[in-house]
Structure 1
Amino acid sequence: MYVWQKIDSKDHSAFLSKLGLDTARKDNLISALSAAEKQVKAVIDTPLMLTLFVSVYTDVAIIPSTIPEFFEKIFHVLAETHDGTKGLFVREKITGLTHGDIREVFSCISYVSKEKLNKSNLTDDEFEDCAIEAKKITGINVNPKTLKTELVETICLLAKDGIYTSYIHNSIQDFYVAYFIKSQNDVDFIKGFYESMHEVDVASYTKWQEAIKF
């Protein structure tokens, strides 16, 4: 599957058929997608994001009304219990971390990679540097290489793209940047972050503008 190949509504039926869905289930999913909020539809623009929508809708039978809700459901489906296209099964964590720890360290990596590199596609060395920094910040001990494998092969929020490891959608990085910031209990950190946005140049402000929408 080509993660970044763009698709639109006219491609949905054919792609869902390729997933092996029967006509009734396919029509139900197309109707559900048509009824989704505009902002949710906007991020379902690749084969992988459509597959994740299938998994989320199959899991909860409710259309997420916002992007944050959609991304929360994606994490639940991928990290915890089952893939809606394949049936119920337990996903084993090769890192040995709980899904809460994985979410915490992943959100920290998202913040560090945005803050230090302002990019969503990372070389092996860049990912390792971000993961090491995330370990220091969160106190969660995990091997960077094992973590990367977990995020690519089990959690599936990152994907290999040639020499890079990339977020499957730029908005996922922004969402988890926001998740990290909101989860901080350090008042000085939060105050410093928002104050810095009034002091930096336009280019620096731009890198945070999508994250703060969450």
Structure 2
Amino acid sequence: LEKNLPLSAGLGGGSSDAAATLKALQILWKTEIDEERLFDFSLELGADVPACLVGEPSFVSGIGEHITPVNDFPDLYCVLANPKKPLSTPAVFKAFAIAGRPFTQPLALTPELNEGIWPLLEGTRNDLEKPAIKLLPEIKDILDSIRKQDGCRIARMSGSGATCFGLFEDEGEAAVAAAKITHDNPAWWVVDGCLSAKPRFLLHA
């Protein structure tokens, strides 16, 4: 296994590896396990493994077991930045619980993006962001750095941190932003890329 993500980054790297392994074994061993059973088994491995198993833009609710694919999801360009400092997920949730804040109420979502993706995304937030910043203040510096880049529409923390992301409509602006952030903060891990609605399957039977 070659891992190109920072440790404890909040990007679901381990979960995506688990989902890929399940899918690979299903193909290589030619098992007759049905998709529903595979899905249930993936949930036992981790709350976000089922979403990685589905492998397409989706609305996810519950603890990860309710997944609704989104229709006509556009390609989005992103910048990811991480301070190269691990952040414990249990510690973040503990800090959230101590603060006594309620979770944001779930959005009323449908598979159709009738008003486009940006109005929807702009109305979201990450409830774990504030407690994560309390544990690792550098997360706020990363978010501020991403938000000030030309073309950045949205900046949020990913999962329980410490990686943050910015979303762009233009591929070139995302690339320029990543280069600027890297120049100004050489100690950070920074990459840019495309969040595509078109999954790529690298393993064939």
TM-score by length of 2: 0.31
Query: Looking at both structures, which has the greater relative contact order when contacts are Cα pairs under 8 Å and sequence separation is at least 6?
Result: 2
Higher strand share: 2
TM-score by length of 1: 0.31
